[in-house]
């Protein structure tokens, strides 16, 4: 089945490579416009391609329709094949560096013969960019910073990507005879926002496990202390520990917790006259029978510590005093407020999003499409927003999840909120977000956001740092002042649950909680499947120590929104 995201990504790649090749600007624009049209398309893309109706869609011509036909038929488009043949792979990789678009990458390729990331870094360090049109000392330094970020990001994976690899490997292992149990561990189980290594603990025969891994991974090698290492298909390193039933509990604790957490547990054992050795808990010369993690923590006089809290060691002391928070769970959330539809840049209609929310058991769904300033995202004018409200009214009258009328309003560079004129009274809430002018000074950016928080319509501050994980660091901003203002104004701060953002992060979310700020976990969904991303945001909230009472999603959202 041809999906919109794949089609749009391919069309956009052709546009970028055409520009990188110095091709016709009209062709570049045609493919870029076609990508945007496909993203906003309402209906079955494959059926429209098969019937020829795709040619009736504004922005789609014969050339772009031919590419879509190739994709629908399972073929790689000839236009893309030819462009990739003409463009060295290292030059294509330059486009992955933040701040390097096709035009600037072409200049580096043609003028300095830069054909790889390594050559670009060398050229920057030799100050060779200073003589190029469109470059200077400041842009050269920004490129060096971006290259450093790019290099570090390639060593990790986003959490949803790592979970996909973990699920595939787990499925292969549990199907093998002699394997009793498979548990995900490490950074992934702790809910870290990015993952460097895939850790699993397997209760079962070590050689059997090794045989499964040799078929599923590459470069499989035995570990000296039992288990195997290897490399998953996407390059993610995997570390699979094996243990028998008597050692499984400690193996899972050890494979999950940070070094600080494990050291705190060992200290706790020592204080209790116990020791941890050879994968077991010992009292003198006798091994203490431990069948599960909870029993091990209990033997140390502690509450079981949720994996998301096993970080700096202080949680062990809190567990010993039985003072751990009762963490929020996904089932506690009634719904979420920040979601998009085909009315702006989403891939599902309001009705489709409502139906998907109902299928997830949500009681409510907020619709917050983009505001007019987000022209690149088909932002809503006042007339189009009011038309959306009529649809929402009809759906609410028909039953199902309660739909709320919102908007994701751009915070303009001067701090004004981009709310369509005359629509303030009809909106039930505004998610205020920065989508432009990321390079403002920390002071200017902070004042900009503070001004938006002070707007009476602002109820939620969206993705507060603007970061994209492994793609773009956040803009400079004084978050302490921002959180103080949100607490004072009663504005909730978003944990954007998109696995590409996870913004706020857990550390700042914890600070928000300590400062009395309510948190709003939102998937920022752009299609029906995206609603399920809520799980990643809940994990961030749990890492921050959030209880249900700290999240607006879990309580009386209707009453909270009604309070000005």
Q: For residues 383 and 471, state if they share a domain.
A: yes
Give the structural domain span for 197: 156-243
Q: For residues 319 and 357, state if they share a domain.
A: no
Using alpha carbons, select from 352, 357, 344 the residue that is nearest to residue 387.
344
Sheet containing 179-185: which strands, arranged edge to edge? 179-185, 198-204, 237-243, 228-231, 218-222
- Structure-token match 């079962």, residue found: 204
Ordered alpha helix ranges (H), 432-505: 442-453, 479-489
Q: For residues 28 and 43, state if they share a domain.
A: yes
Using alpha carbons, select from 491, 535, 487, 537 the residue that is nearest to residue 511.
487
Domain limit, last residue, from 153, 179, 211:
153
Q: Tens of pLDDT along 90-118?
A: 888 888 887 788 888 999 999 888 888 88
Rounded-to-integer distance, Cα 484 and Cα 461, Å: 13
Q: Tens of pLDDT along 216-248?
A: 999 999 987 788 999 987 788 999 999 988 889
Q: For residues 384 and 291, state if they share a domain.
A: no
Rounded-to-integer distance, Cα 303 and Cα 326, Å: 11
* Number of structural domains the chain divides into: 4
Q: What is the CATH number of the domain that holds 250?
A: 3.30.210.10
β-strand 237-243 against 228-231: which pairing, if any? Answer: antiparallel
Residue 1 pLDDT more than 90?
no
Q: For residues 94 and 167, state if they share a domain.
A: no
The token pair that represents 148 in the structure block: 């450093």
Residue 149: pLDDT band (50, 70, 90) is: low
CB 342 within 8 A of CB 348: yes
Q: Tens of pLDDT along 369-399?
A: 999 999 878 899 999 999 999 999 999 999 9
Q: What is the CATH number of the domain that holds 229?
A: 3.30.460.10
- Structure-token match 């959330």, residue found: 333
Cβ neighbours around 292 below 10 Å, total: 12
CB 420 within 8 A of CB 441: no
Rounded-to-integer distance, Cα 426 and Cα 382, Å: 11
Q: For residues 474 and 534, state if they share a domain.
A: yes
The token pair that represents 547 in the structure block: 């209880």
Residue 536 pLDDT more than 90?
yes
**Poorest-pLDDT segment among 4-8, 307-311, 443-447:** 4-8
CB 238 within 8 A of CB 231: yes
* The pLDDT value given to residue 155: 77
Query: 215: Cβ–Cβ under 8 A, 6 or more apart, which residues?
Result: 172
Q: What is the CATH number of the domain that holds 476?
A: 3.20.20.140
Q: For residues 477 and 498, state if they share a domain.
A: yes
Report residue 560: phi and psi, to 5°.
-65, -40
Q: For residues 52 and 13, state if they share a domain.
A: yes
Using alpha carbons, select from 236, 240, 183 the residue that is nearest to residue 209.
240
Q: For residues 295 and 273, state if they share a domain.
A: yes
Domain limit, last residue, from 197, 214, 243:
243
Furthest-apart CA atoms within the chain: distance in Å: 80
Report residue 342: phi and psi, to 5°.
-65, -10
Q: Tens of pLDDT along 199-208?
A: 999 999 999 9
Q: Tens of pLDDT along 309-330?
A: 999 899 999 999 999 999 999 9
Q: For residues 366 and 509, state if they share a domain.
A: yes
CB 292 within 8 A of CB 249: yes
Q: Tens of pLDDT along 392-413?
A: 999 999 999 999 999 999 999 9
Q: For residues 339 and 214, state if they share a domain.
A: no
* DSSP helix/strand/coil, 203: strand
């Amino acid at each position: 089945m041809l999906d919109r995201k794949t089609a749009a990504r391919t069309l956009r790649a052709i546009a970028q490579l055409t520009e990188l090749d110095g091709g016709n600007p009209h062709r570049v624009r045609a493919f870029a416009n076609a990508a945007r049209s496909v993203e906003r398309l309402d209906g079955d893309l494959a059926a429209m391609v098969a019937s020829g109706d795709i040619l009736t869609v504004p922005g789609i011509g014969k050339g772009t329709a031919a590419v879509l036909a190739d994709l629908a038929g399972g073929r790689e488009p000839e236009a893309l094949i030819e462009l990739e043949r003409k463009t060295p792979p290292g030059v294509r990789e330059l486009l992955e560096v933040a701040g390097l678009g096709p035009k600037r990458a072409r200049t580096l390729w043609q003028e300095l013969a830069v054909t790889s990331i390594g050559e670009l870094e060398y050229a920057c360090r030799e100050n060779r960019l200073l003589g190029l049109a469109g470059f200077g000392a400041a842009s050269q330094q920004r490129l060096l910073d971006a290259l450093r970020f790019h290099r570090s990001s390639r060593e990790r994976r986003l959490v949803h990507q790592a979970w996909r690899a973990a699920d595939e490997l787990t499925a292969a292992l549990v199907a093998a005879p002699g394997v009793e149990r498979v548990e995900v561990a490490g950074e992934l189980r702790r809910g870290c926002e990015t993952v460097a290594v895939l850790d699993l603990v397997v209760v079962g025969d070590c050689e059997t496990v090794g045989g499964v891994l040799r078929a599923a991974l590459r470069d499989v090698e035995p570990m000296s202390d039992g288990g195997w290492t290897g490399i998953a298909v996407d390059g993610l390193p995997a570390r699979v520990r094996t243990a028998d039933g008597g050692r499984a509990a400690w193996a899972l604790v050890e494979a999950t917790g940070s070094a600080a957490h494990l050291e705190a547990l060992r200290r706790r054992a020592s204080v209790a006259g116990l020791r941890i050795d050879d994968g077991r808990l010992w009292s003198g010369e006798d091994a203490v029978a431990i069948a599960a993690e909870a029993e091990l923590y209990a033997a140390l006089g502690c509450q079981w510590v949720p994996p998301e809290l096993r970080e700096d060691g202080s949680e062990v002391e809190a567990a010993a005093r039985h003072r751990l928070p009762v963490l929020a769970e996904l089932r506690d959330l009634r719904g979420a407020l920040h979601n998009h539809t085909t009315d702006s840049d989403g891939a599902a209609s309001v009705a489709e999003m409502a139906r998907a929310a109902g299928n997830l058991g949500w009681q409510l769904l907020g619709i917050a499409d983009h505001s007019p300033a987000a022209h690149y995202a088909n932002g809503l004018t006042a007339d189009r927003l009011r038309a959306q409200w009529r649809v929402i009214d009809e759906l609410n009258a028909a039953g199902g999840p309660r739909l709320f009328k919102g908007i994701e309003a751009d915070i303009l560079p001067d701090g004004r909120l981009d709310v369509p004129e005359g629509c303030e009274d009809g909106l039930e809430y505004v998610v205020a977000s920065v989508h432009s002018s990321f390079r403002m000074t920390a002071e200017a950016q902070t004042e900009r956001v503070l001004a938006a928080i002070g707007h009476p319509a602002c109820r939620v501050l969206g993705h507060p740092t603007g970061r994209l994980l492994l793609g773009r660091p956040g803009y400079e901003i004084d978050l302490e002042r921002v959180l103080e203002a949100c607490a004072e104004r009663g504005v909730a701060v978003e944990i954007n649950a998109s696995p590409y953002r996870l913004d706020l992060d857990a550390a700042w979310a914890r600070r928000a909680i300590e400062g009395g700020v309510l948190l709003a976990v939102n998937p920022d969904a752009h299609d029906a499947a995206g609603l399920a991303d809520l799980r990643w945001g809940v994990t961030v909230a749990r890492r921050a120590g959030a209880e249900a009472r700290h999240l607006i999603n879990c309580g009386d959202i209707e009453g909270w929104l009604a309070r000005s």
